[in-house]
């Protein structure tokens, strides 16, 4: 196989972000765009040159080598099972599923189809600024890690929350609130750089009555290495300021990743720090498809296997439990 024919299953807001990234893919062509709402499928088909359909069966008839499952979380298990049974490679939007049990069932199915590539499209794994910070830390730019901070404060947009009945507001569909959904993008970089999270303690809140899960998290994460990091995420009710996405503190300096894509190193040479690079969060989606394309067409290992993404699901669940018990909660 020299080129990859990709079908998109689910043509909502996140699909359009992936479509933008796929424009940079050199060996992948979107051939099928599937959604239960014809107008959504047709819109994305017009953007990609693919053919609109209403089901995975339609996508198979159109012709695909792989399917990207980009639907509400509670539909993941059913559609991934169908995709594996069809014999195609599978890219699944994060989180893997609303519960750990559902994740384990998906992984068990994937284990039965080891000749098919299975990727979790956690784009933070490929976030350019995070990769810059990781390389600097690995090269000793700030000495030994002491602590870190992850922060994300965002507002409701019509794109992802189109109405009061949006599925992201519903516990059964989303599987939780901001810790599991948006928060996973800010948990992954902490895990990439600090290692595995052992336990968490958190305060959670519901700033939006229409959101059944938590819309605010203030938490501490204790890593197996002994390092402690703060993890805060909020679905704001008003305007938000540009806080840094990440701050990594070492024994000899700090690295700050700004909300505007700037990576700044504080190593004592300049009190205001030194800008060592720039990146774009949206470019992380391009990394997803480069990795998937290479794994399918060249047989190269993925940057992170699907099982690794259980760490975000388990951490988010522990955060929610801690918000209820007011105690430290184990992640694993």
The DSSP line for 98-158 is SSHHHHHHHHHHHHTTTTS-EEE--GGGG-HHHHHHHHHHHTTTT-SEEEEEEEEEEE--T
Check: CB of residue 126 under 8 Å from CB of residue 303: yes
248's CB contacts (< 8 A; 6+ apart) are 133, 137, 142, 145, 148, 193, 254, 255, 256
- Same domain for 164 and 100? no
pLDDT of residue 318: 98
pLDDT of residue 155: 87
Q: Please check whether residue 39 lies inside any domain of the structure.
A: yes
Q: Please check whether residue 182 lies inside any domain of the structure.
A: yes
- The total of other beta-carbon atoms located within 10 Å of residue 176's CB is 22
- Same domain for 86 and 33? yes
pLDDT of residue 21: 97
Pairing of strands 145-155, 228-236: parallel
pLDDT of residue 67: 98
- pTM score, two decimals? 0.96
Q: Please check whether residue 308 lies inside any domain of the structure.
A: no
Total domains in the fold of the chain: 2
**Which CATH number fits the domain that encloses residue 112?**
3.40.50.720
Q: Please check whether residue 317 lies inside any domain of the structure.
A: yes
pLDDT of residue 219: 98
pLDDT of residue 1: 83
- Same domain for 114 and 138? no
pLDDT of residue 14: 96
Check: CB of residue 236 under 8 Å from CB of residue 221: no
pLDDT of residue 299: 97
pLDDT of residue 140: 98
- Same domain for 49 and 139? no
- Same domain for 119 and 138? no
Give the pair of three-digit tokens for residue 322. Answer: 């801690």
- Same domain for 141 and 181? yes
The residue range of the domain holding 170 is 125-280+313-330
| Structure letter (DSSP) for residue 273 | -
Place of tokens 């700090």: 254
- Same domain for 102 and 196? no
User: Which of helix, strand or coil describes residue 33?
Assistant: strand
- Same domain for 77 and 56? yes
- Same domain for 42 and 186? no
- Same domain for 101 and 17? yes
pLDDT of residue 33: 98
- Same domain for 115 and 239? no
Check: CB of residue 262 under 8 Å from CB of residue 275: yes
pLDDT of residue 253: 98
pLDDT of residue 156: 87
Low-confidence ranges of the chain (pLDDT < 50): none
- Same domain for 59 and 87? yes
């Amino acid at each position: 196989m020299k080129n990859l024919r990709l079908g998109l299953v689910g043509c909502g807001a996140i699909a359009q972000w992936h479509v933008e990234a796929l424009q940079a893919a050199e060996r992948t062509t979107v051939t099928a765009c599937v959604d239960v709402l014809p107008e959504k499928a047709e819109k994305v088909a017009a953007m990609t040159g693919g053919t609109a359909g209403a089901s995975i069966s339609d996508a198979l008839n159109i012709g695909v080598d792989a399917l990207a499952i980009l639907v509400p979380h509670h539909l993941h298990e059913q559609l991934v099972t169908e995709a594996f049974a069809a014999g195609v490679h599978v890219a699944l939007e994060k989180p893997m599923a609303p519960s750990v049990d559902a994740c384990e069932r998906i992984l068990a199915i994937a284990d039965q189809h080891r000749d098919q590539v299975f990727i979790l499209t956690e784009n933070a794994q490929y976030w350019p600024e995070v990769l810059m910070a990781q390389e600097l830390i690995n090269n000793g730019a700030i000495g030994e890690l002491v602590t870190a901070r992850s922060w994300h404060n965002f507002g409701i947009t019509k794109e992802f929350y189109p109405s009061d009945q949006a599925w992201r507001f519903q516990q059964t569909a989303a599987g939780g609130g901001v810790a599991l959904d948006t928060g996973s993008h800010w948990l992954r970089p902490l895990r990439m750089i600090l290692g595995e999270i052992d336990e968490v303690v958190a305060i959670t809140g519901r700033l939006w009555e229409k959101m059944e899960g938590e819309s605010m998290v203030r938490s501490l994460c204790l890593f197996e290495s002994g390092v402690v990091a703060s993890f805060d995420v909020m679905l704001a009710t008003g305007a938000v300021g540009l806080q840094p996405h990440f701050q990594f503190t070492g024994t000899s300096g700090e690295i700050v990743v700004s909300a505007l894509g700037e990576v700044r190193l504080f190593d004592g040479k300049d009190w205001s720090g030194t800008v060592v690079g720039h990146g774009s969060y949206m470019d992380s989606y391009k990394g997803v498809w480069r990795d998937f394309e290479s794994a399918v067409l060249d047989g190269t290992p993925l940057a992170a296997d699907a099982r690794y993404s259980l760490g975000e699901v388990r951490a988010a669940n522990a955060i929610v439990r801690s918000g209820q018990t007011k105690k430290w909660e184990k992640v694993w």
